[in-house]
Amino acid sequence: MTHDHLAAPDRGASRPFGRLLTAMVTPFTDDGSLDLDGAVRLAAHLVDEQGNDALVLNGTTGESPTTTDAEKESLIRAVVEAVGDRARIVAGVGTNDTRHTIELAASAEKAGAHGLLVVTPYYNKPPQSGLLRHFTAVADATGLPIMLYDIPHRAGVAIATDTLVRLAEHGRIVAVKDAKGDLTATSWVLSRSDLAYYSGEDALTLPTLAVGGVGLVGTSTHFIGAPAKQMIEAYDVGDTATALSLHRRLLPLFTGIFRTQGVILVKAGLAAQGLPAGPVRLPLADATADELAQLRADCAAAGLELPE
């Protein structure tokens, strides 16, 4: 097996992190502590069985708001050692404090991460000038390629088109996880930069590809990574009929995984499959019986049987 996609990305790389990435949940033991053995098993499943080209660790789906800096570093080290020879490991390091983000970036780089996911600073709602300086400072402080994460409905502020175009001039800012839900804005950025755009909303993957995107950073892809990747590959070779058919087939789970906070349903579904997951940490709450039943129905509608 070759690992050409693990070559160091360059500015002109059209897919610096491959086609399919999953924002991996962080498995915990029953008492809520970090389950590194479980994380290694889950990462191998996502890469070897679900076809992921890369994994995002320590994102919101990884419960980054409630894991410590030391836990984040330990998780990166363990997963890089387990699957880093056959998948890119992208570390979520974004916070609403530039100094802390730079510290997390340095820690992730030291732990062996191949790239960084840096979310828009949340809650303090910086102006665009602040966003430009924040992302530039992080990019200046690391040697790793960076994927910006534009998610205004959580961060409270969007990364404006002009800001994204200016950030694209930085040699290490190579990609965007796009959860803005504004394909017009996405189109403008893609027409004015060479940033690689990954859909940050599972159900918008195919529309994002249609305006020049390259792939998906998914949540439902814990379960349907293989057909989601098939959809992307079908579009790539011009088989839009197959891509559309897969989009429609997978739509119930693309959307259903977000009936409540995504990590809650992912962990419930993984547990049903006998895969490592464990409980969520407060303030999240584990899935109810009704939520799990609805997840089973959504999985069935997407062609996946979730064990009872």
Q: Which of 72, 122, 177, 229 is catalytic?
A: 177
Instruction: Give the residue from 94, 95, 106 showing the smallest Cα distance to 141.
Output: 106
Active site residue 149: yes
Is the Cβ–Cβ distance between 36 and 287 less than 8 Å?
no
Active site residue 235: no
User: What is d(CA 57, CA 111) in angstroms, rounded to the nearest whole number?
Assistant: 12
Q: Which residue has the tokens 């959504």?
A: 298
Q: SS3 for 62-110, per residue?
A: HCHHHCCHHHHHHHHHHHHHHHCCCCEEEEECCCCCHHHHHHHHHHHHH
CA distances to 260, 277, 278 from 28, in Å: 20, 6, 5
Max CA distance (Å), the chain: 51
Q: Which of 72, 122, 149, 180 is catalytic?
A: 149
Catalytic residue list:
149, 177
